[in-house]
């Protein structure tokens, strides 16, 4: 039973590797946002100040695009009811979906950041281990939040439209902390200057994962 979430995640990853129906559109969307950001802010003397915002807007758009399929694709294929009736706790189904979405979002993030830095001529940040930590925590929060909202919206007729409406207000604390921490990491500031934002991300991730696992068990 303890490995049930891992099997759900493995199933989703195998399906994605065969179809690439989520990763490719999410990656293209993120790259498009980054390119627009580079073109829009290329003449700003303090372009590095807006880099974090551009990167996280790209990740949020890319994540929302991919997360819309987290449960929608299962419902369209008629496999959602089968998945929910498996002899495992439903919370494990949620955690497996989160793990698969997290892998996709983190992969997109690890592509977008180097592309932005290279294309924009930005120096490699000295705080790159901290930047990687922020990207990991932010991607986990996006996956945890988006998976739950995708489950709630999956039965609606216009779920692709409904998901951003549900998702964006809940993501505000996560995005604010992620943008500020990323901005400080790119600027090479010491970790003590942005430790508070990292703690906010850790608290957000833990709280949303715990609450969503319990709610998914009883409400989906």
Tell the residue number behind the tokens 């039965």, with chain if given: 155
Q: What's residue 78's pLDDT?
A: 64
Map out the domains of the chain as residue ranges: 4-219
Give pLDDT tens digits for 73-103.
Answer: 676 666 666 666 766 777 888 888 899 889 9
What size, in residues, is the chain?
Answer: 220
Helix orientation angle between 128-153 and 69-77, rounded to the nearest 10 degrees: 40
Residue 208, CA atoms < 13 Å, CB-side half-sphere? 25
Name residues of the chain where pLDDT drops below 70.
Answer: 1-3, 45-49, 69, 72-73, 75-84, 86-87, 123-126, 155-160, 219-220
pTM of the model: 0.88
Between the alpha carbon of residue 17 and those of residues 11, 72, 100, the distances in Å are: 10, 18, 11
Residue 152 CA to residue 159 CA, distance in Å, equals 9
Mark out the alpha helices in 69-194 (DSSP H runs). 69-77, 80-84, 90-119, 128-153, 159-186
Residue 208 CA to residue 145 CA, distance in Å, equals 7
The dihedral through the CA atoms of 136, 8, 169, 210 has a sign that is negative
């Amino acid at each position: 039973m303890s490995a049930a979430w891992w099997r759900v995640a493995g199933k989703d990853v195998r399906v994605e590797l065969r179809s690439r129906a989520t990763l490719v559109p999410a990656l293209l969307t993120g790259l498009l946002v980054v390119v627009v950001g580079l073109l829009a802010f290329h003449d700003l003397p303090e372009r590095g100040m807006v880099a974090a915002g551009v990167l996280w807007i790209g990740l949020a758009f890319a994540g929302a695009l991919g997360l819309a399929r987290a449960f929608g694709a299962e419902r369209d294929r008629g496999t959602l009811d089968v998945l929910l009736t498996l002899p495992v706790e439903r919370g494990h189904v949620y955690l497996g979906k989160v793990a698969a979405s997290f892998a996709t979002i983190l992969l997109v993030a690890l592509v977008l950041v180097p592309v932005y830095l290279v294309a924009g001529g930005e120096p490699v940040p000295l705080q790159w281990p901290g930047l990687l930590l922020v990207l990991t925590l932010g991607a986990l929060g996006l996956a945890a939040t988006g998976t739950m909202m995708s489950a709630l919206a999956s039965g609606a007729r216009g779920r692709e439209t409904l998901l951003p409406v549900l998702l964006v207000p809940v993501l505000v604390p996560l995005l604010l902390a992620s943008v500020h921490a990323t901005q400080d990491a790119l600027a090479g500031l010491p970790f003590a200057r942005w430790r508070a934002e990292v703690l906010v991300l850790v608290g957000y991730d833990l709280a949303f994962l715990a609450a969503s696992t319990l709610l998914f068990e009883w409400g989906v």
